[in-house]
Copies of this chain bind each other. A is one copy, B any other.
Amino acid sequence: MADHQYSLAELAELLSVKYVGDAELVISGLATLANAGAGQLSFLANPKYKKALATTRAEAVIVAADMEGVGPANRLISDNPYLTYAKASQLFAASSLPQTGIHPSAVISPSASIDPSAYIGANVTIAEHAVIGAATVINAGCVIGNNTVLGEACLLHANVSLYHDVSLGNRVIVHSNTVIGSDGFGFAPSPDRDQGGWVKIAQLGGVVVGDDVEIGAGCTIDRGALDDTRIGDRVILDNQIQIAHNVELGVNTAIAGCVAIAGSTKVGKNCTIAGGAAITGHLTIADSVHITAFTLVTKSIAKAGTYSSGTPMQENRIWRRNAVRFSQLDEIAKRLSDLENKVD
């Protein structure tokens, strides 16, 4: 982070906020309130951590106006300190100097079209008729299939696999070892199971990813059976997410790690799905639905709101007794009804 230095006044201008204190103060890094020190900027996004503001050794802080009088004298005043921190973080990100060109070890089909401002890293493979847009960076070990199209300013980290006929919009980030365009899980049971097993249904659709999407590491996004699998603009996906064939994700939807969405399910816009949740197939989830961690969704959701399933964690010896009772629950309910009748 030492590569980046800004004066407090420069930061205020770059971040479109006001500053208070020493305009010339040199800031060379970002840190948490607890760990910040000389030359570092920190931030208070949640007022409940106000105490840390009073004791931080940060030289400057991003705070709301109502935090006056607490903590460092040098400050950037923001209506939305978390958003200002997000923007500031980008100013201190490891400088990835714009690289262009094709590494000599990359294997590029003569029919592929690579914008001269793109960068293709070592040991990358790009197949026939693929198109790579301006300023797009493809890191080492990625494999791009036939007819796959990447827009402008995309970033593929190492060892990403894109199958054929996948389309990424502009400014799409894909993290390492993610797969886009693998076959959906489609098979017809063979009439004679012992002889035939399963007859594979060729997956003839593609995957269409919108603009400004970020996809984490180790995700798998299957191609459609006939129509395309679709990821809307500004969707953000964490790591190890499984998106089955013909799923559609609405714009702005955010999905945390290890979520699985089964085939043909449509998720609305502005949804959040917390870690480890799963949604079964052929469902429709409305806009602005929030699913809590580890929930299994087995029915369509027509109304915005927060939805959950599961049971609370307890000490094992207590949980075990309750879990046994769960398996008697219908009987317990019937005994209660009987007793109610008796008492009446």
> Chain A residues in contact with chain B, CB under 8 A?
1, 29-32, 35, 80, 82-83, 85-87, 89-90, 92-94, 103, 105, 107, 121-123, 125, 139-141, 143, 145-146, 157-159, 161, 163-165, 173, 175-179, 182-183, 185-191, 193-194, 196-204, 212, 214, 216-220, 222, 225-227, 233-234, 236, 238-240, 242, 244, 251-252, 254, 256-258, 260, 262, 270, 274-276, 278, 280, 290, 292-299, 305-330, 332-333, 335-336, 339-340, 342-343
Q: A94 CA to B194 CA in the complex, in Å?
A: 29
Q: A125, B158: Cβ atoms under 8 Å?
A: yes
A157 smallest CB distance to B (angstroms): 7
A228 smallest CB distance to B (angstroms): 10
A319 smallest CB distance to B (angstroms): 4
Using A233-B197, A325-B332, A330-B325 as known contacts, say yes or no to A305 and B310 having CB atoms under 8 A apart.
no
Question: Chain B contacts of A122 at CB under 8 A?
Answer: 107, 125
Q: A320 CA to B306 CA in the complex, in Å?
A: 11
A162 smallest CB distance to B (angstroms): 8
Q: A260 CA to B343 CA in the complex, in Å?
A: 49
CB-contact partner of A330 in B90, B199, B234, B322, under 8 A: B322
Q: A200, B86: Cβ atoms under 8 Å?
A: yes
CB-contact partner of A87 in B123, B199, B258, B317, under 8 A: B199
Interface of A: prevailing SS: loop
Q: A190 CA to B312 CA in the complex, in Å?
A: 33
A270 smallest CB distance to B (angstroms): 6
Q: A191 CA to B288 CA in the complex, in Å?
A: 15
Q: A329 CA to B336 CA in the complex, in Å?
A: 12
CB-contact partner of A83 in B190, B254, B258, under 8 A: B190
Q: A139 CA to B216 CA in the complex, in Å?
A: 23
Given contacts A83-B189, A260-B275, 6 further A-B contacts (CB under 8 A): A29-B204, A198-B236, A218-B218, A308-B314, A314-B327, A318-B327
Q: B332, A336: Cβ atoms under 8 Å?
A: yes
Question: Chain B contacts of A86 at CB under 8 A?
Answer: 186-188, 199-201
Using A31-B226, A333-B332 as known contacts, say yes or no to A312 and B339 having CB atoms under 8 A apart.
no
Q: A122 CA to B94 CA in the complex, in Å?
A: 28
The 9 closest A-B pairs by CB, nearest first: A197-B234, A143-B158, A93-B202, A86-B188, A161-B176, A125-B140, A182-B217, A89-B202, A306-B316
Q: A213 CA to B269 CA in the complex, in Å?
A: 37
Question: Chain B contacts of A226 at CB under 8 A?
Answer: 30-32, 35
A63 smallest CB distance to B (angstroms): 15
A193 smallest CB distance to B (angstroms): 6
Q: Which B residue sits closest to A337, measured CB to CB?
A: B335
Q: B332, A193: Cβ atoms under 8 Å?
A: no
Using A161-B159, A322-B326, A332-B333 as known contacts, say yes or no to A343 and B340 having CB atoms under 8 A apart.
no
